[in-house]
Structure 1
Amino acid sequence: MTETETIAYDVVVLGAGPVGENVADRTRAAGLSTAVVESELVGGECSYWACVPSKALLRPVIARADARRVPGLRQSVQGPLDTDAVLAHRNYYTSDWHDDGAAQWLESIGAVLYRGHGRLTGPRTVTVTGQDGARHILTARHAVAVCTGSDAVLPDLPGLADVKPWTSRNATSAQAAPGRLVVVGGGVVATEMATAWQALGSQVTVLVRGKGLLNRMEPFAGELVAEALTEAGADVRTGTSAESVTRENGTVVVATDQGDRIEADEILFATGRAPRTGDIGLDTVGLEPGTWLPVDDSLRVTGSDWLYAVGDVNHRALLTHQGKYQARIAGAAIAARASGVPVRESDAWGAHAATADHHAVPQVVFTDPEAAAVGLSLAEAEQAGYRVRAVDVEISSASGAGLYADGYRGRARMVVDLNGEILRGVTFVGPGVSELIHSATIAVAGQVPISRLWHAVPSFPTISEVWLRLLEAYRDN
């Protein structure tokens, strides 16, 4: 292969994270030749700096917390976590930041991997520049799929670069627990990393600009998580922003808008994400670099008949599972169009439309307690113009809750659309609720009427009996 040789494929995928991998898997399964371009590690952000390492850090934290709530077991787990063992286990799950296995999987499905920086250099054309300077020009007969993900955003504070702050990547890959950690932000990354590092030995201070944590969920979710963080020893300060950050003799010094001075060993900014589209050649096809890419429900970029944007880059739902869902939709749509099959995006239940992105996006926050939600919050449903009613119950009313944890604390809400009596959203907060959310996702995505949900009988004695309590509360009030 020479530097100037042009190679044609049916599909070229930019980005080999879980989203790009799934696009490649679906197009290869349809018999299309597929090239995948990756500038970092095959497996992407999720595998090495996000979902996988963060959950590896959090699993022992949650398991210990659950064990401490069980009579006869709590005395056996009163000591500190073995931080070195937790970090070693995390390293194992990230394959020590080596991607040999992921690359081999791509090869096993018949996709061709190109390592290097890929840029669009015109319609249906991607030029890949390897670390050794070698260039390969790839053309796509049917589609180019942009699956490059997103990056952490740092605020515009003078001198921040000199402080060398943590982003989510540092927080999930650190090889030792800092003695003192300031976390700026109140979303998923902030709350999960505050939970993890507080349990692993750090003294954590959380600075939240707004009124509370997890502001995209029902208010009670953030309230319960904040209470638990405080009980665990973290200092959670709401209505507080970092005005300046410096590093003095190795110590991070944070000045807040409340006039406080906080000293720490590290500071994590978990204050948002930006699309990783700044240097992928969007300008060569008439698009603005560094922007989110709007798409239709088949994930095709608005105004294009060949360019797809899948996962974080389209800004629909910055979640790995939603990106993989979109990838399956995009792969099916690309394959259908390649074979001349009409793609009917209006088919809400079809294989070619990512309609769940609009009304049934599930998410779990792996804090203690866990917070899980799908669909719309009460405020979002009202803002959307639905005639809704919120139904709240304490999860402790479910017979299995007390068996799961002594003194179980948690809350559940379902948002009922009174026109048709279907669910627009469901939220659970409490120990173990991550395993409840898929039942809620089925109910919301499938638009299951409440009259039918009465016949979905929860097993006794499990926490899922909370569904019966919710239905009874709706009926009786």
Structure 2
Amino acid sequence: MTETENIASSTYDVVVLGAGPVGENVADRTRAAGLSTAVVESELVGGECSYWACMPSKALLRPVIAQADARRLPGLSASVQGPLDTAAVLARRDYFTSNWKDDGQIGWLDSIGADLHRGHGRLTGERTVTVTGPDGVRKVLTARHAVAVCTGTRAVLPDLPGLDEVKPWTSREATSAQAAPGRLVVVGGGVVATEMATAWQALGSQVTLLVRGKGLLNRMEPFAGELVAEALTEAGVNVRTGTSVESVTRENGTVVVVTGTGDRIEADEILFAAGRAPHTDDIGLDTIGREPGTWLEVDDSLRVTGSDWLYAVGDVNHRALLTHQGKYQARIAGAAISARASGAPVQADPWGAHAATADHDAVPQVVFTDPEAAAVGLSLAEAEQAGHRVRAVDYDLASVSGAGLYADGYRGRARMVVDLEHEILLGVTFVGPGVGELIHSATIAVAGQVPISRLWHAVPSYPTISEVWLRLLEAYRDN
């Protein structure tokens, strides 16, 4: 008997590579449509979000933000002046990651009737995935209708000599560390960098934030990064913009960073939060004529360009590197796969059931710093660059009654970007304590292309921070 004959094989309607939130949602939608579905995962079922990103980072940040809010309230502030209980915060973080065990997630996959295959999955030809299990045993899975690549991204590390010996942190180590380092250098100015600087400074670390560019959160309106940088500095973070890292070494356990200006910074740990790369380098793309390690371009139904069976869903297609947007894509892809499998019409026109149109026009995001920064749609610069005739309407959130009640000394700002031709909103940005809960209303306005004349009749409750909607609309009308 040959080696090939010893390899077990199974056929499914759909094979999903990756069991993070995106892969789970693809499986959920295809199983709900009656398609047999296999899910392949080499690490923990639940993926990056559940164990090293969204859940642990927000578990770390929630006590930080709650304490900051409490300190702004007379009658309560005196009770919360001491340091956070770091051990308790980390224990709660561990609870929300299920202590890095995936039994519950496996149970959920079982409940929807999807088959889990543990091991490393690689494409080995059209509609074919070979899984090498932890014991080295291989299985060949063949898909009748679709293979969905949901393998996400990995952290990018710079090409610095000797960096491996330094053992730097990436987002994984930053969200799973079991103790606060005494001194932490964070390299980057985006979401991971600002959130982790916020968390670990509050949990007892002395944090230095090194940013190559001019400011923080450069994908948002400029004032978002400015307000977050100001607050981080006030909290004790040493924020240094326009600063590059030329070398990193570890000497007698101490990390030594040399900047582009020749400054020497010592720390206990260093976190690089400087971008993500697609997790496609070892999934067999070469066997189907595609380049390994590249982003996978897709149409709005999430089908890979030039293929009638391969789908790429979530971060791996580089459309919107956000868990909620990946889950949205997964619902679209699952419905599209199911429609094509049954021969039903595919509604791939904008805003159709099988089109991820929101990826282009209405992507929301919240940065859980103090203050929070939340945005959806286009910034003013992006709208102008796209050729829209627009007007930005700004408002000081501190002037809203609900904000003043929320916290003494409230600082924040709101902006809506108005398409003057159609009088609809192309983008909205809020920065301030508690604004993360405002962004869905903005998302509905942008995704629904709600005319400003109709928004007038969406009355915000008083006294809430949402009253900023009325003030923005008044500012647009009166000026």
What TM-score, normalized to structure 2?
0.99
2:366 matched residue in structure 1: 364
Aligned counterpart for 1:336 among listed residues 316, 336, 339:
339
AA of the residue aligned to 1:47: S
Q: CA deviation at 1:349?
A: 2.3
SS at match of 1:119: strand
- CA contact 1:3–1:136 (8 Å) conserved in 2: no
Q: Does 1:430 align with 2:410?
A: no
SS at match of 2:258: strand
Q: CA deviation at 1:291?
A: 0.2
Aligned counterpart for 2:267 among listed residues 264, 280, 283:
264
Q: CA deviation at 1:283?
A: 0.7
SS at match of 1:436: helix
Q: CA deviation at 1:397?
A: 1.8
Q: CA deviation at 1:407?
A: 1.0
2:470 matched residue in structure 1: 468
Q: CA deviation at 1:3?
A: 4.4
Q: Does 1:285 align with 2:288?
A: yes
Q: Following the alignment from structure 2 to structure 1, what is the Cα–Cα distance between the partners of residues 44 and 417?
A: 41
2:115 matched residue in structure 1: 112
Q: Following the alignment from structure 1 to structure 2, what is the Cα–Cα distance between the partners of residues 224 and 235?
A: 15
SS at match of 1:229: helix
Q: Following the alignment from structure 1 to structure 2, what is the Cα–Cα distance between the partners of residues 215 and 401?
A: 25
SS at match of 2:243: coil
Q: Following the alignment from structure 1 to structure 2, what is the Cα–Cα distance between the partners of residues 192 and 448?
A: 32
Q: Following the alignment from structure 1 to structure 2, what is the Cα–Cα distance between the partners of residues 266 and 361?
A: 33
Aligned counterpart for 2:458 among listed residues 441, 450, 456:
456
2:206 matched residue in structure 1: 203
Q: Following the alignment from structure 2 to structure 1, what is the Cα–Cα distance between the partners of residues 347 and 285?
A: 27
Cα deviations across residues 376-424 of structure 1 (Å, max 9, x unaligned)? 0000000000000000000112110011001110000000000111000
- CA contact 1:210–1:239 (8 Å) conserved in 2: yes
Q: CA deviation at 1:344?
A: 2.9
- CA contact 2:347–2:353 (8 Å) conserved in 1: no
1:440 matched residue in structure 2: 442
SS at match of 1:351: coil
2:421 matched residue in structure 1: 419
Q: Does 1:70 align with 2:76?
A: no
- CA contact 1:177–1:200 (8 Å) conserved in 2: yes
Q: Following the alignment from structure 1 to structure 2, what is the Cα–Cα distance between the partners of residues 459 and 18?
A: 34
Cα deviations across residues 242-264 of structure 1 (Å, max 9, x unaligned)? 11000000000000012211000
Q: CA deviation at 1:343?
A: 0.9
Calculate the aligned-residue CA RMSD, in Å: 0.7
Q: Following the alignment from structure 1 to structure 2, what is the Cα–Cα distance between the partners of residues 242 and 3?
A: 52
- CA contact 1:397–1:469 (8 Å) conserved in 2: no
Q: Does 1:186 align with 2:225?
A: no
Cα deviations across residues 162-193 of structure 1 (Å, max 9, x unaligned)? 10000000000000000000000000000000
AA of the residue aligned to 2:136: G
2:131 matched residue in structure 1: 128
SS at match of 1:213: coil
AA of the residue aligned to 1:433: V
Structure 2 unaligned segments of length 5 or more: list them.
none
Q: Does 1:20 align with 2:23?
A: yes
Q: Following the alignment from structure 2 to structure 1, what is the Cα–Cα distance between the partners of residues 391 and 351?
A: 26
Structure 1 unaligned segments of length 5 or more: list them.
none
With 73-82 and 2-11 compared, the bigger mean Cα shift is at: 2-11
Q: How many residues align?
A: 475
Q: Does 1:235 align with 2:235?
A: no
1:393 matched residue in structure 2: 395
Aligned counterpart for 2:179 among listed residues 172, 176, 179:
176
Q: CA deviation at 1:5?
A: 2.5
Q: Does 1:8 align with 2:11?
A: yes
Q: Which runs of 4+ in 1 moved over 4 A?
A: none
Q: Following the alignment from structure 1 to structure 2, what is the Cα–Cα distance between the partners of residues 157 and 386?
A: 42
Q: Following the alignment from structure 1 to structure 2, what is the Cα–Cα distance between the partners of residues 3 and 412?
A: 63
SS at match of 1:128: strand
Aligned counterpart for 1:305 among listed residues 308, 312, 315:
308
2:328 matched residue in structure 1: 325
1:156 matched residue in structure 2: 159
